[in-house]
Amino acid sequence: MQQNSLIAPIIVAIGVIIAAVAFAMVTTLLQSADSGADLRLTRLEAAFDAEAAQRARLEAEIGTLKSDLARLRDDMSLLANRAPVATTTETTTTIPTTDAESLTAGEDEQHQPETEALTEQMKAARERFNKGVTQPRNKTMLALLGRPREDLGTDCRGITNPRLKGLVETRQIGPIKATMLKPALDSLERIFAKLKEDEPDIYAKLGTAGALCVRLIRGSNSSVSNHSFGTAIDITLQGELDPFADGTMQIGLVILAEHFNDEGWYWGGGYNREDGMHFEVGEETLKKWVDEGLIPSQ
């Protein structure tokens, strides 16, 4: 009877021991699991922070590349507005032979520094120029003059628009020959006449790198170069092209810009990336010519 009475307490004691051991094992396992989870979480957080930092670096690089692309597009737009070197219809003329032959040796030596100064590069206060003159927008050009031709490419072609073609002609103006819009040629004659009176040395050295050139702006599938409408011309001095966007411009072109501005032409030297040889009829002047009937309304 005593043996049976001891079995129950022993079983209970064994159960308690087993329960205690099981509890200890479960606790240990849970603590190990929590420690592993914390470690994995820490690693994931570190990986996330690294990915976020890499993303920030990439976004910064993308921003820089976008800025560079915008500058390149600007450069291409300005370069595209330069017409190609003059062909047989638009030639560059240097000093007239009669003037050159009339100089004596002494006069030639005295004149030479002045001649060189015309193409000497200088930094101009560009904010002084283009006062009240706006660079004509593509939208305005198309609205006032129409599309020069339907099949535009990146190479120079002729005008096929009958209305615009009838407004364009080729004319000898002083030392250069140019194909442009008739009112633009009239304006150019006034500019050169004033220049001949005020700055005869610059007038004698005038030349052109081209005017009419019907094509798209290079790098664009829709924007039309302003040279396409016969309202822009690239001017050279002594046959030298002014370097594009180098921060300086030929002294002679800076002086010439004042005469063009007075006639309502926009000077490319005022661009953020200067193009000192480029001159185009300002938007206000074009609208004025329409109002005066010099350009018939569409």
Q: What is the mean pLDDT of residues 109-130?
A: 65
Inform me whether the pLDDT recorded for 86 exceeds 60: no
In whole angstroms, give the CA distance from residue 230 to residue 90: 12
Higher-scoring residue by pLDDT: 294, 31: 294
State how far the Cα of 230 lies from the Cα of 238, in Å rounded to an integer: 23
Q: 254-263: long-range contacts at Cβ-Cβ below 8 A with a sequence spacing of 24 or more? A: 254/122, 254/124, 255/199, 255/202, 256/195, 256/199, 256/202, 257/129, 258/129, 259/191, 259/194, 259/195, 259/198, 260/191, 261/129, 261/130, 261/131, 261/133, 262/191, 262/194, 263/187, 263/190, 263/191
Tokens coding 115: 């001649």
Q: Domains along the chain?
A: 81-291 (3.30.1380)
For the segment 11-27, the average pLDDT, to the nearest whole number, is 76
CB-CB neighbours of 23 under 10 Å: 10
Asked if 156 and 213 touch (Cβ cutoff 8 Å), the reply is: yes
Has residue 188 got a pLDDT over 70? yes
Overall average pLDDT of the 219-229 stretch: 90
- Confidence band of 210 (pLDDT split at 50, 70, 90): very high
> How does pLDDT run across 37-84, given as a tens digit for each residue?
677 777 777 887 888 878 877 777 786 666 555 555 545 555 555 555
DSSP code of 264? T
- What is the tens place of the pLDDT at every residue in 232-266? 999 999 999 988 888 888 999 999 999 999 999 99
Above 60 in pLDDT, residue 109? no
| % residues pLDDT > 70 (the chain) | 75
